[in-house]
Amino acid sequence: MNIKQQLRQLSERETDMHFNNVEVNPKIIQAIMINEVVPSCPEEDFYGKPDSAYMSTTIPMFRKAGIEIGSVQDILNNGIYITNAVKTPKTEYAVSKESIEDSLPYLEKELALFPNVKVIMLMGDVAKKAFNMICKKATKKNAVPSISTYKLRNTEIFYKGIRIIPSYIMTGQNILIEKSKFEMASEDIETMYRLIKCFD
């Protein structure tokens, strides 16, 4: 299944949204990691060029978690799919509420493509906000409490039987500088990986 083709069906007109142009077997995916926002250049995204900016921070995080990977294909082969909450690049420093809302139907459809998901990781506040907007539409309440990610660590959160793990943004060079966030995100990835391996 090609993700880009699936999401394009939602809109009849040409859109400036960036979708993951990748073939995935939806049945093998057991975890989804939702990052914040697509980069301005699609080549720098997770499914862009092999040494993309997004993979340059993601690979070290996985390795720190004890998961030996060298590419996004290795991550997919481990039953983990990565995407971005916001499908349009940032135009200013902060991600606007409007851009999150504009991307929501696509993110919602994307999450629904995977029938066997056991864990969803929310990598950063934008991912947390977007996921809560989806949940609120369905249940009238947030799945993830609106408090700092640090305070939510080690809290078991479930939504429709799926374990939700709020964590830290996994892209951008800052994550390599902010050692404590890098460490905590790696620990969260390790937790996610352990959980999905329980189902194998």
Q: Which domains are assigned to the chain?
A: 12-198 (3.40.470.10)
Give the whole-angstrom CA distance, residue 178 versus residue 41: 24
> What pLDDT does 76 receive?
97
CB 147 within 8 A of CB 192: no
Can you give the pTM of this predicted structure? 0.94
Cα 189–chain centre separation: 12
Give the N- to C-terminal CA distance of the chain in Å, as an integer: 22
Average pLDDT over residues 80-99: 92
pLDDT at 37 over 70: yes
Give the whole-angstrom CA distance, residue 55 versus residue 60: 9
* Residue that wins the pLDDT comparison between 56 and 153: 56
Average pLDDT over residues 156-161: 93
pLDDT at 99 over 70: yes
Average pLDDT over residues 34-63: 93
> What pLDDT does 170 receive?
84
Report angle CA 163, 113, 46 to the nearest 5 degrees.
Answer: 80
